[in-house]
Amino acid sequence: MRESLAQKKVRARAIYRILCKSYPNVRCELDYKTPFQLLVATVLSAQCTDKRVNQTTPALFKKYPNPAKMAQADVKDIQRLVKSTGFYRAKAKNIKSLSSKIVTDYDGKVPSKLESLITFPGVGRKTANVVLGHAFGIPGLTVDTHFGRLSRRFKWSKSMDPVKVEFEVADLITRKEWTNLSQRLIWHGRRVCHSRKPACGACPIAKYCPSFGIGEMDPIKAKLMVKVEADFK
């Protein structure tokens, strides 16, 4: 029988509660001290691991800690500092350009509105929502590859379009919980619900997951597949 929207909301709430219980101490896994540093780190995280970004940003932020200094930097020097994150030419160009825009249009301060953030080069809704949620405490749904994959496995959305996924999930979860949900879905996707073979036998959400059984079902084998904190450092 087809699940109604009301039923889907009830199941989404149940999944959210279990995620909160399973991951009570989630945090942004990118290292930063200011909204600007989080913005830059998130831009660098495209097609790159947070672990690699965190290895890269200390030297970058030591030399260029704020928008004014980054805007004045030689783009080739930024390229050198961020090369290990991949696509470094485009990322360096975008970081320098967005820094200049922050200085000229926003008096050197990162804006706290999504509509403003997505006008920056290299910044889409995902990056904007990361900054809003973690730097400013403004709820947002961060639809990265993990969020999208789990949303489809939970039958919250069928779409491969991150924007469509964002709006469909937004209808299921209370706005104030968007950032918390996003972070916990990402943690769960990285640790348990892997892309190729999820650890179904070790999943706390099994009871509410329509896709339960597509991965490793043996509890012992599944538990060995679960990634731990040390895997991300």
Active site residues: 126, 144
Q: Distance between CA 41 and CA 62 in Å, rounded?
A: 13
Residue 28 annotated as binding site? no
Tell me the Cα Rg of the chain.
19
Residue 20, annotated as binding a ligand: no
Q: Where are the alpha helices (DSSP H) in the chain?
A: 5-22, 35-44, 50-63, 67-72, 75-82, 88-105, 114-117, 125-135, 145-153, 162-170, 178-191, 219-225
Q: Which two tokens stand for residue 55?
A: 């290895």
What burial letters (b/e) apply to 129-168, b meaning 16+ CB within 10 Å? bbbbbbbeebbbbbbbebbbbbbebbebbebeebeebbeb
In the numeric block, the tokens 């109604």 are attached to: 4
Residue with tokens 């329509």: 210
Residues found in the chain? 233
Among 104, 101, 107, CA closest to 43: 101
200 in a labelled binding site: yes
203 assigned ligand-binding residue: yes
Closest among 71, 92, 72, 69 to 82, alpha carbons compared: 92
Binding positions for [4Fe-4S] cluster are 193, 200, 203, 209
Binding-site entries: 193, 200, 203, 209
